[in-house]
Structure 1
């Protein structure tokens, strides 16, 4: 992996005002909204809803940060930047690795910001629970980084943002991240089990004793990682704007 290119890619993202406004501010605002609506209600397992809401919004925000890597990939293709990179020693695997790594890097500050908002709002967890939940959520967004890469390879610079937003809405709502599934119709709970966002939320909640099935959650997320990755590799080989 080209670390210089990775650093430049991260700086490019951090200098974008859209990153702070949409990727960080939106999940924090949603946490404050849903926390005020449902925060006082305990869930069936006894865990305060405010804790689950915080973890879900951290998952949603991290997912958003990872998915939006597709906008930068599409812009690279539209502007011809990928073709320019063909003149450098960077090879195709290195380009893809930098994009995925930058997506993971951008997911981290979103996650930490929601956690800080939760702590200020009154969420109390042990140090071990904070660390394990944060690590589980951060590693769990890797499939979404690859999904974002896939969107960028199929979309265009002026359309991939809309495509990403259209994907985030059902993933967030039907995956049970916007509000606890206990407050939603039963059929939505059934749909949630097929979505990676549901398992991402489950993964983040396990360190606080809310839910089980680590192997199943990891397996589902791994499937959502491998299958899109195979499509990404195939698409990238056929893309005329690729780095060879």
Structure 2
């Protein structure tokens, strides 16, 4: 992986106002809103609803940050930047690795910000629970980074942002991150079990809950990682404007 290009890519992201608004401000605002709506009662799993809301909104933010890597890939393709990179020693796998690493870099700050807001609002977790939950939210964003790459490789610079936003809404709502599935129709609960956002929330909640299911949650997320990754590799090989 080209570390210089990775550093430039991360700086490019963090200097973008869209990064602050869509990746941090929106999930934080939703956490503050939903946290006040749902209160802080103890749920059936023994976890305070405030903690569950915090985890879900951090999951939504990490997903959003990872998905938005597709906008930069599409812009690179549209502007001819990928062809320019052919003049450098960088090759295709290195380019994809940088994009995934930068997507994971985008997924981390929102988790920390929402966690800080949750702590200020009274969320009480042990040090191990904070660490394991945050790690699950961050690593669980990897499938969404690959999905973002997939959108960027198929979309165009002026449309992939809208495509990403249109995908985030159903993933957040139907995945049970915006509100508990108990509040939604039964068919939406069924749909949720096929979406990676549902399993990201489940995986992140395991360190603070009393239920099991780690293998199932991790397995579903792994499937959502591997299958899109195969499509990304094939699409990238066939893209005439790709890095060599």
> CA separation in 2, counterparts of 1:109 and 1:210?
27
> CA separation in 1, counterparts of 2:37 and 2:11?
36
Q: Report runs of 4+ in structure 1 exceeding 4 Å deviation.
A: none
What do residues 145-190 of structure 1 show as CA deviations (whole Å, max 9, x unaligned)?
Answer: 0000000000001000000001000000000001111222222111
Cα offset, 1:210, TM superposition: 4.5
Map of 1:64 onto structure 2: 64
Map of 1:200 onto structure 2: 200
> CA separation in 1, counterparts of 2:200 and 2:95?
26
Map of 1:23 onto structure 2: 23
Aligned length: 244
Map of 2:184 onto structure 1: 184
Q: Which moved more, 1:203-212 or 1:9-18?
A: 203-212
Cα offset, 1:41, TM superposition: 3.2
RMSD of Structure 2 on Structure 1 (CA): 0.8
The TM-score, its normalising length taken from structure 2, stands at 0.98
Judging changes above 3 Å, is the alpha-carbon distance between structure 1 residues 145 and 117 closer, same or farther for their aligned structure 2 residues? Answer: same
Map of 1:34 onto structure 2: 34
Q: Is the 8 A contact 1:31 1:54 kept in 2?
A: yes
> CA separation in 2, counterparts of 1:143 and 1:95?
17
Map of 2:139 onto structure 1: 139
> CA separation in 1, counterparts of 2:156 and 2:111?
28
Cα offset, 1:112, TM superposition: 0.6
SS in 2 for 1:165: helix
What do residues 112-148 of structure 1 show as CA deviations (whole Å, max 9, x unaligned)?
Answer: 1111111111111111100000001100110000000
What do residues 214-240 of structure 1 show as CA deviations (whole Å, max 9, x unaligned)?
Answer: 011111000000000000000001111
Q: Which moved more, 1:228-237 or 1:45-54?
A: 45-54
Map of 2:87 onto structure 1: 87
Map of 1:155 onto structure 2: 155
Q: Is the 8 A contact 2:46 2:209 kept in 1?
A: no
The TM-score, its normalising length taken from structure 1, stands at 0.98
SS in 2 for 1:86: helix
Cα offset, 1:46, TM superposition: 2.2
Cα offset, 1:21, TM superposition: 1.2
Map of 1:6 onto structure 2: 6
Map of 1:113 onto structure 2: 113
Q: Which moved more, 1:34-43 or 1:189-198?
A: 34-43
Cα offset, 1:70, TM superposition: 0.2
> CA separation in 1, counterparts of 2:80 and 2:199?
37
SS in 1 for 2:45: coil
> CA separation in 2, counterparts of 1:211 and 1:93?
39
Cα offset, 1:60, TM superposition: 0.3
Cα offset, 1:39, TM superposition: 2.1
> CA separation in 2, counterparts of 1:210 and 1:101?
32
> CA separation in 2, counterparts of 1:39 and 1:46?
15
SS in 1 for 2:87: coil
> CA separation in 2, counterparts of 1:133 and 1:186?
28
> CA separation in 2, counterparts of 1:39 and 1:191?
26
Long gaps (5+) in structure 2: none
